[in-house]
Amino acid sequence: MTTLELPKEARVADPRPKAPRRPGEKPFGVGRIVALVILILMAISWLLPFAWALVTSLKTEADAGATPVSWLAPNGFTLEAYASVLEEGNIPVWAINSLLSSAIITLLTVATSALAAYAFSRLDFTGRKWLFFVVIASIIIPPQVLIIPLFYEMLAFNMVDTYWGLILPQVVAPPMVYILKKFFDQIPIELEDAARVDGATRLRLFWSIVLPLSRPILAAVSIFVFIAAWNNFLWPFIVINDTSLMTLPVGLQTVKSAYGVQYAQNMAMALLAALPLIVIFLFFQRQIIKGIATTGFGGQ
Amino acid sequence: MGDTKNARRRKDNLAGWAFIAPFGVFFVLFLVWPIIYGLYLSFTGTTLTGAGGEFVGFANYAEALADRDMWRAMLNTLWFTVLSTIPLVLVALVMALLVDLGLPGQWLWRLSFFMPFLLASTVVSLIWIWLFNPQLGLINEMLKPFGVEPIAWLQDPQWAMLGVVIATVWWTVGFNFLLYLAALQNIPEQQYEAAALDGAGKWRQLFSITIPQLAPTTGLIVILQVLASLKVFDQIFQMTQGGPAGTTRSAVVYIFDLGFTGYRFGYSAAVSFIFFAVIILVSLVQLRITSRKGARS
């Protein structure tokens, strides 16, 4: 992360990355060893599904479907499953669709939310209070209850089976407006006052003063929105039927049944689809963890 | 003086609405309008083709209230919520407490517990359908040494919901874990020092300091978790399609089935709004409970 000189008030409390040692604690107490063992067992249980998927994906179909169940592969490990999934399947196309649609959704959501959050935080306009209340209250609406009318709307706009229909309805995230407003509220207003005296417009203040100070929270919000869009299933599943327009999760769902009992290929597909987000996580670990820690919001 | 203030106010008004506008367009088009239109649809007999769009009054709602499948889906949803929320809070707490001890390998623990949260539901379902496979699945294989007969996890009405819950806990516990971990790291060290001076042991500190200090976080996690669990759709739709024999069919799965397999859009919208009412009710109850707790302490 870039080192930003934030005014104290604007800084988000940093969850201490250091591991605290309680006073009077011995580094090698019996309790700590027991705790370590439990921790290792839990971590193994959480990693086991990945390991099993990986081992299966590296088997031949014959070995993957053989009993008794085994971690070994009598016919040797192979990349066959990956090769055939990439050859036959539309996975690269779906990955590009996922990447593009998620990126556009993120860009539009963060841009519109930040502008609105700035208005709610700084501008004293008529109706601000009740409008903010409406936006916050809407957080409680489960998006799933809107699928029927939303689908109808898309039919009316002729947007079923188009990128528009895929992208536009996902561009609204009231929780993000709330998070951003809370952050903007902490930025001292004096910082803007000086520039205002010099005649800077509101847009200028927003762009050159508030946004640069908000980089950490913007990064966190962007990552949340991106992950949620990337993983969204229900809406893309409803609005897209054309195979070439599908996102990765929807595409996988449709071929899952087609592949049927080809277990190695199924697991190769699952791992290929999981890879992009895991890579993103490894790159943005700090922002993601910090974002969840400080805002309490995420995908799902 | 008053004039400039008014002028400034007017400027703020214009700027305010201009800043809101881009968000407002999406908000109205894809949130407000669908709600209003959905409410209208729920009073009509609309089908996929738009036929039968005539106004039917409360007929859909009356039908829904007498619909045993709907009640069953609602109960399934509540059951799933109870079954999933408890481990999703407790396991997350245990994970966070253990990781917070500062044992070596911090990044590894965090990565192991959080990574599944990043996966798309399709990926999670693919992996768990495979793990739960009655003949070839790893889960049955691991239970074998304990003398457990092979279980058809996702096909047996007795076990299907539990199977979905297990996959869900694995998938989403990492988020709650991170919330707890952050909260733990914000508890002031001095409290432990003071307690240690008073002769409080580790367990005593855990129950007298740590757990009470985590109460607000626990409240937040429970609220978020209950709301998330009530809306369960993806993993059920992909792992069991709501079966076997409707034992895992949740409210949203039922709404989807009515609309997109039965093409009864009007009726589906009515069930959506009944479900929406349930969600509001649960939220209000939760709010009551947490605010009362807050008043007491």
Please report the ipTM that was assigned to this predicted complex: 0.87
Contacts with A142 (C-beta within 8 Å, 6 or more apart), sequence order: B227, B230, B231, B252, B275, B276, B279
The mean pLDDT of chain A is 84
Long-range contacts of B186-190 (CB under 8 A, 24+ apart): B186/A13, B186/A15, B187/B213, B187/B214, B189/A20, B189/A23
- Position A299 scores a pLDDT of 40
What's the pLDDT at B4?
Answer: 63
DSSP state of A146: G
Write out chain B residues lying below 8 Å of A296, CB-based.
179, 220, 224
Would you say residue B275 has pLDDT above 90? yes
**With the C-alpha atoms ordered A21, A25, A27, A29, is the resulting torsion angle positive or negative?**
negative
User: Which residue did the predictor score with more confidence, B245 or A255?
Assistant: B245
The Cα–Cα gap between A249 and A233 comes to 6
The answer to whether B178 and A293 are in contact (CB under 8 A) is: yes
CA dist list (Å): B55 to A64, A213, A223, B51: 56, 53, 44, 12
Q: How much is the pLDDT for B278?
A: 92
Q: What is the CATH number of domain A90-295?
A: 1.10.3720.10
pLDDT of A295 over the 80 cut:
no
Full DSSP string of A113-128: HHHHHHHHHH---TTH
Q: Which residue ranges make up each domain of chain A?
A: 90-295
Query: Has residue B294 got a pLDDT over 70?
Result: no
Distance CA A193, CA A267 (A): 57
Mean pLDDT of chain B: 89
* Average pLDDT of the residues in A199-220: 89
pTM, 2 dp:
0.88
pLDDT for A58: 94
Answer with the residue of higher pLDDT: A288 or A82. Answer: A82
CA distance A208 to A201: 10
Q: Is a pLDDT exceeding 90 seen at residue A87?
A: no
CA distance A187 to chain B (A): 18
Report which of residues A300 and A257 the model is more confident about. A257
Per-residue pLDDT band at B3 (split at 50, 70, 90):
low
B80-132 tens-digit pLDDT: 999 999 999 999 999 999 999 888 888 899 999 999 999 999 999 999 999 99
Residues of B in contact with A120 (CB under 8 A): 20
Average pLDDT over residues A168-173: 95
- Nearest-neighbour CA in chain B from A212: distance (Å): 18
Which of A42, A99, A145 to mutate: most B Cβ within 10 Å? A145
Cα–Cα distance for residue pair B287/B285, rounded to 1 Å: 5
Query: Which positions 78-107 of A are in contact with B (Cβ < 8 Å)?
Result: none
pLDDT at site A258? 64
Contact A20 B34 (CB under 8 A): no
Which residue of chain B comes nearest to A176, CA vs CA?
B23
Name the A residues in 167-226 with CB < 8 Å from any B CB: 168-169, 171-172, 174, 177, 202, 206
